[in-house]
Structure 1
């Protein structure tokens, strides 16, 4: 690292028992043993302590069970652990859920972020606040001739989930401008890989095929997304943490733009079922609104030294093999595998405020 790079010491990583957050926690804990990684997570339905099991014996890892909307506990954690860096992954993220339970998205994504910002403002040791947003805040790429959206593009969210993430961003920007909280914002493409709860497209289709079920494609299946493998995304956050500048936004995007039906066909091929499309493809009613595509320009992040490394075919194969081994960690996921799931219930049995090295 150059002398100009930011060097943290004590990192509070919210949502770190979830999908992307757990991979970032694993990367940072193992790559930087001199950093202390404190994962803060309420253990919602889509997070799992087993995602962090490989960290349980590391001396620089700690877990705190808590909700980001609990101001007293957040403040206590910041002060007690001498936090200098917040990496804020905790959020409600599933678009289908936001059409039916949108108030929970406002609570977690806007109010929870506001609590974190207010706590950070009052904590003099905070030197970085990395806020994790999404490419969905840009709104729909109206056709396949749309230029990739840069970080300066106007935000035009089209669903309740994206709207709450956009609202959270405006709070982050306001705290940077008014209170000088050293905030950075990231906006990422769709991410896939191990640890993702099976309500999302790739693990959902994988688990449907593992059970001999049909693949439930929304609409005509032509909507596309750019898919980034989760370890590439973790590396992006490593880069942004150390080289990103407060006040800046960084897109995290890849080059695997694939339609939903293209994903389905790729998975059928992995399972050796490519000649049985008529049996396994089921077209179901679309979402209330389903963005055609998102396309973002990641040149700003690439100039910091990051690049996408995982090929699509290899990443997809690796993902399928992981779910064949570890899907059981999520318990009963049948409700997540329906065409339009509704899965908002924290349902945790761990008392809030417990700090532990997972498994000890």
Structure 2
């Protein structure tokens, strides 16, 4: 890509988004990186402290569903690239408040697509970050990008619906979209509702790891740095109109994960590991695993380079070094400034 590009990242203060924003700001000092984020409970501006004073980084607090704000950004900021990560993602919460997931994940994507498409400046890429959960869970089948979408919970259903919107812009307008479907991404700064930081946080507070249900569930885990490398590679070499799985061969049974976290955080002998595990009721719909093949992405030269041992060691160490990171984020969750609100309404 040429120099002097302007990149809009939605959800750039979240776990994956903050890593992506930091990578873009540092790797491309001649690009402008704009982070649009409403700073929901699972986001923190502290995730971006290392770059907040960089001259090529701009933060805009706002809701991706706010069409006036989003249109204002595209009308004034000369956006060249969009990475759309803003979403509600916690499966358990999606059963409790499906309408909020519908609003953010589906309507937010519609608002963003509409604004990007109507903008006078032609967009170079619109990269939509989706999930392997759109395939539904299967114990044997390995999913490739042509596998049918069979989402089994409100979260994955909204991600699948958003994907269909994105692809419709390619089909109708040849709008330059790319979709990624990722395995479970983990690493430093992930909010504690996700399984790995949840286990770590519980143990740090001398509580047991809560294992949901008794079925033999497992997940494929991908370290966040490898996911970011995949996104950046797709920006450079990905084919528009295509879907790319982004995954790992690292499959970890959840029970094994709990045991491993107990050993690493509590440093107890094997005979006492089970004392730190507790079974709790499962969520309404359970998928045993989401195995995906990433041959299409690997043909572009991508490989997951971080071993499970290295990735989980770095992750645990970060939470040990930053035990209070998520304890108080009230200062992050302030309403949009009056000045910006005035500008987007006039």
Give TM-score scaled by structure 2 length: 0.93
Equivalent of 2:222 in 208, 225, 228: 228
Matches within 5 A, 1:249-260: 249-260=243-254
Between the aligned partners of 2:338 and 2:126, the Cα distance in structure 1 is 22
Aligned residue among 72, 78, 96 for 2:74: 78
Deviation at 1:332, TM superposition (A): 5.1
> Does the C-alpha gap of structure 1 residues 163 and 354 become closer, same or farther in structure 2, counting only changes over 3 Å?
farther
Counterpart residue number, 1:337:
none
Match of 2:137 in 1: 140
User: What's the counterpart of residue 334 of structure 2?
Assistant: 349
Larger RCO, structure (CA 8 Å, separation 6 or more)? 1
The equivalent of 1:52 in structure 2 is 48
Whether the aligned pair in 2 keeps the contact of 1:42 and 1:352 (CA below 8 Å) is no
C-alpha displacement at 1:166, in angstroms? 0.2
Residue of structure 2 in register with 1:291 after alignment: 287
Alpha-carbon spacing, 1:174–1:51, altered in 2? closer, same or farther (3 Å): same
- Taking the aligned partners of 1:354 and 1:291, their CA distance within structure 2 comes to 46
Distance in 2 separating the partners of 1:136 and 1:325: 32
The CA distance in 2 between the partners of 1:26 and 1:187, in whole Å, is: 21
Cα gap change, 1:128/1:174 in structure 2, threshold over 3 Å: closer, same or farther?
A: same
Q: 1: distance between equivalents of 2:38 and 2:249?
A: 33
Count of aligned positions: 337
Give the match for residue 257 of structure 2: 263
Give how far 1:64 is off: 0.4
Q: 1:42-89 CA deviation, whole Å, 9 max, x = no partner?
A: 000000000011111211111000100001111111222110111000
**Offset of 1:180 from its aligned partner?**
2.5
**Partner SS for 2:196:** helix
Q: Distance in 2 between matches of 1:124 and 1:172?
A: 19
CA deviation vs aligned residue, 1:227-278 (integer Å, no higher than 9, x gap): 0000111111110111111100010000111111111111112121243123
1:241 and 2:228 correspond: no
Q: In structure 2, list runs of 5 or more residues that go unmatched.
A: 341-346
Query: How far is 1:35 from its partner?
Result: 1.3
State the partner residue of 2:103.
107
Runs of 4+ in 1 over 2 A off after TM superposition: 5-8, 352-355
> How far 1:119 sits from its partner (Å)?
0.5
SS at match of 2:72: helix
Higher mean C-alpha displacement, 121-130 vs 273-282? 273-282
Q: CA RMSD in A?
A: 1.9
Among residues 167, 183, 188, which one is paired with 2:161 in the alignment? 167
Q: Deviations over 1:100-123 (max 9, x none)?
A: 111110000000000001101101
- SS of 1:212's equivalent in the other structure is coil
Q: Is the 8 A contact 2:35 2:60 kept in 1?
A: yes
- Point out where structure 1 has 5 or more consecutive residues left out of the alignment: 334-344, 356-360
8 Å Cα contact 2:127-2:177 kept in structure 1: yes
